Structure 1
Amino acid sequence: MAVVQTAERILPPGLHPAIRRLAETLARQDEVSRAQRMALIAFAIRVISAAIAFFSQIIQARIMGEFEYGIFVFVWVLVVLFGNLSCLGFHSTVIRFLPQYHARNEPDEIRGLTATARIFAMTSASLLAGIGLLSLHFFGDRIEGYYLIPLFLGLVALPMIALGDVLDGTARANSWPIAALSPTYLVRPTLILGFMLIAVAFGAPHTATTAMQAALLATYVTTLAQFATVSWRMNGRYEPGPRKIDFFAWFRVAIPIFLIEGFGFLLTNSDVVVVGFYLEPDQVAIYFAAAKTMALVQFVYFAVKAAAAPRFSAMMDERDLRPLAAFAGQTARWSFWPSLLVGLSVLAAGNLLLSLFGPTFTAGYSIMAILFAGSLSKALVGPGEVLLTMAGKQQLCVLLYVGALTANIGLNITLIPLYGLQGAALATAVAMMVEALLLHVAVRWSLGIVLFAFADPLSILDKKKAG
């Protein structure tokens, strides 16, 4: 902007509006390029993460066998799920507000927001862990004995899971994709595997308890290192100073986000949880291996979502919705085509990939094919829930996810007893299709944007302008 101001001083006044428009156009192009770079970095991290996770899961399944591996993955899914939920939306509230505070040069608000989010998430997760420990103490006799110690270890990890999610959101809000994603998706799974291999080498039993001990240690090491890194970068970008705290304003936004992302996260993981309640751990292991192998498709969507959220937030202040609509259409295409390519490649190698876990795991191939259909339908509309959230349509998004989650759980409860693992996969795929359809309709109705990979996102806005 300094260059623009200099040009306005030396050039005729009639050229000033043109200079301003040119500067704004270049700024928008730079923001789009930055979002694309962030998407590529996030995509690369997710590719590497998928490889690490797949490799580590194979080794863990081989070391523990189906039964103990099923115990571990069921408990670990619960830990990650409730660790994320315990943030009550503050990890994404940072993404919602920080870019706007930065654009308005309000460092006091930024310092207050980031500190509040960390403290709130840690406190909430600690309270949840305390409730869980009391529940294990008084109702442990109603839980299968092989789950008790892994659950205890998982509860101890909850505060660090929550803090890590807030740090992830803080780094994403500052467009630091490596600092945001690498701890959770690269460092932590690597450390879990490394600590487990060391423990087994020193004579530890090949059980889910050993795996959870490794996961607990890896979580604390990773989160504390991320805390030091993000804090150092924040101090370099925003000098130390007073904190301005507007807790209730943030909390009012955080709760709808919590409901949206909570229902979304439950929608993503409820199948594993319900399978764990209905079936034995060895069946959980087969389902989890198939689902996570096909989840290679979903890292494309995650990468686009990570890059799009700050950009959506920044563009909401603009009066003209056309740039927002065009960018939203790009995100749908960024989600669909790579997802299609990755999914077909994974299916082609499906039996081989599953056999790496063990000979019994190939029974999960049909699960992969069913889940691929659901993932592809979600990719058709891209990060629609992020767009609605950043547009202030949180309540609408909550209703959509309530409907999709209700369909998911209802179908799982109905179909798992009838069709077993295939019923769980079918329930999840149908719920994802319902979610995609509801998001498409909601974005079209509330924002006038056609969010679909094969449609012109500007078509409704152009009709309104022509009319």
Structure 2
Amino acid sequence: MSRTGSDMRAIARGGALNIFGEGGKAVLMTVILLLLARSVTKEEYGIFTLAQVLALMLIPIGGLGLSRTISRHIGYYQALGDRKMVNSVIRSSIHLWPISAVAISLLFFALSVPLGHYVFRHEDYLPNFQMFSIYVGANIVSQQVGGIFRGLREVKPKIYFVDLMPRVLALGIFAVLAYQGAPILMYSTAYAMCFTASAVMSIFYLLRHYSLSGAWIPTHMALLAFSLPVLVQEIFFTSNSKLSVLILGIFVDPATVASYTVAQKIAARIPFINQGMLFIFLPILSGYMARKDTEAMRKIYARFTKWVILLALPGILLLLLFPVQVLALFGDKYRSSWSILILLTIAHSWSTFLGPAGPTIIAMGRVRMLMLFALLTAAVNVSLNVALIPAYGGLGSAIATVTALGIYAFLTLGYVYRRARIHPFNRDYVRLLVHSPGLCFLEHLLIVQYMGTSILSLAVAVPAFMATVWGLALLLGLITGSERRAVMRRLHGMFGGR
């Protein structure tokens, strides 16, 4: 078995587990938001959303870009067999992120007063913002511990403590609060406490199950030097959608913000398959870079992108062709956001179609270029948001988002192609992207003709779209014989016994 073949199997195994975690996280968050949206007023939902958005914008700053840097460095030094440097990376990072978590939490708490009084001009915002300062610190800690698990290729602890535990706790408590008709502040408090409990448990698990003894050398400054350009990119990636919500909050009422954020939350679930597979992809690709094996990087990039698109394309087409029905799951009051959902679906699909160019640049160690691309596209995003939101509201924000994320995706892919001739495209892959939407559109017309536009039509469209995409992939030869056999063995092992 070739090295890329065995590594792709490792990515598939780890990715399958992580997709379960990411999928569980996405489902839990969708149910949590659905429960919240149906339990409180649109204004209260908008207040909760704005507090969460502000928190999510500050979390990358507190993380210092260390999460992916830790994963990259651990994978890089493990490929070279340098245990001392692996230990050094982990121990140095543990010294850094608690300080930043406390600092950013205090900053968020301090900002809550001027934001509540002078920016959003709404007294009900203030206590919710203050409570989310606890959520900020807990989330920073969880993400950094998850970065260590990622570098060590330990998927299950990350799933348990980072993805599932805080959201399972939140869902249970939210259900009780909804039954009691609790005010929005109780939801914010419960949300923050659930993430805090999970962060504490993840630290205990790391210290209990992984020995950090042995020789090490301080690498704090080296980690920070590599991390800061990654931090700029993460801030752009996080703030791209969050900034739109904040500008909406300044120019429009909370009800309009709620309508936009429901569509944004749905579309933001699209990359969860991509993100799940990337969990093991980054440290493995960093190992290839350490060995200077460019050919292996090309092969695994193309195979990775192919499998991500096969898994994600049915869901993408579902959102593009049935946006009204999907939004109706959150209530009829959100149906009018269908055009926003279509644009945001395209925006969040760029990286799925073009492949993991950003993480590949990190594995190459070219993080300054990634920072420059992020700064350029952030400038485009801010300019378009400011220009379009006052006139077009949520639709203008969606146009800005799809433009900015598209520019970023093509810039990063162009760079990795120029550096190493890495790209995902071949004739059959392009044919799949061209023919699948057309066939699924015909199925959409038939479903609407015979079932109307009810939510029940989604139950028919999901298996129909999956069968179309996978059947076309088999006809085009995108799934090789060895890949089919590997999938069947995996399914047999999961459901058919030993």
TM-score range, shorter chain: 0.7 to 0.9
Partner residue of 2:101 out of 125, 134, 143 = 125
Partner residue of 2:131 out of 153, 160, 179 = 153
Q: Which amino acid aligns with 1:101?
A: Y
Q: Offset at 1:268?
A: 4.2
1:69-148 correspondence to structure 2 within 5 Å: 69-136=45-112, 141-143=117-119, 144-148=122-126
| Total equivalences in the alignment | 428
Partner residue of 2:170 out of 174, 189, 192 = 192
Separation in 2, partners of 1:453, 1:222 = 44
RMSD: 2.3
Output one character per residue of 1:385-413: Cα deviation in whole Å (capped at 9) or x when no partner.
00011101111111111111111121111
1:378 maps onto 2:351 in alignment: yes
Output one character per residue of 1:422-464: Cα deviation in whole Å (capped at 9) or x when no partner.
11111111112111211121111222323447699xxxxxxxx
Aligned match of 1:387: 360
Aligned match of 1:314: 287
Aligned match of 1:357: 330
Aligned match of 1:283: 256
1:224 maps onto 2:200 in alignment: yes
1:337 maps onto 2:337 in alignment: no
Partner residue of 2:234 out of 261, 271, 290 = 261
Aligned match of 1:444: 417
Separation in 2, partners of 1:340, 1:317 = 33
Q: Offset at 1:210?
A: 1.5
Q: Offset at 1:382?
A: 1.4
Separation in 2, partners of 1:139, 1:55 = 29
1:420 maps onto 2:393 in alignment: yes
Aligned match of 1:42: 18
Separation in 1, partners of 2:249, 2:150 = 33
- The farther-off stretch of 71-80 and 138-147 is 138-147
Aligned match of 1:171: 149
Q: Which amino acid aligns with 1:214?
A: A
Distance 1:455 1:253, change over 3 A: farther
Separation in 1, partners of 2:127, 2:427 = 50
Q: Normalising to structure 2: TM-score of the pair? A: 0.80
Output one character per residue of 1:198-251: Cα deviation in whole Å (capped at 9) or x when no partner.
3455x56332x111101111011111112222333323xx6x334421222212
- The farther-off stretch of 444-453 and 183-192 is 444-453
CA contact (8 A) 1:304 1:334 kept: no
Aligned match of 1:206: 183
* SS, match of residue 225 in structure 1: helix
Distance 1:154 1:454, change over 3 A: farther
Distance 1:140 1:346, change over 3 A: closer
Q: Which amino acid aligns with 1:387?
A: T
Q: Offset at 1:152?
A: 0.7
Separation in 2, partners of 1:96, 1:294 = 28
CA contact (8 A) 1:286 1:364 kept: yes
Separation in 2, partners of 1:111, 1:62 = 48
Q: Offset at 1:43?
A: 1.9
* SS, match of residue 357 in structure 1: coil
Q: Normalising to structure 1: TM-score of the pair? A: 0.85
* SS, match of residue 52 in structure 2: helix
Unmatched runs of 5 consecutive residues or more in structure 1:
1-24, 457-467
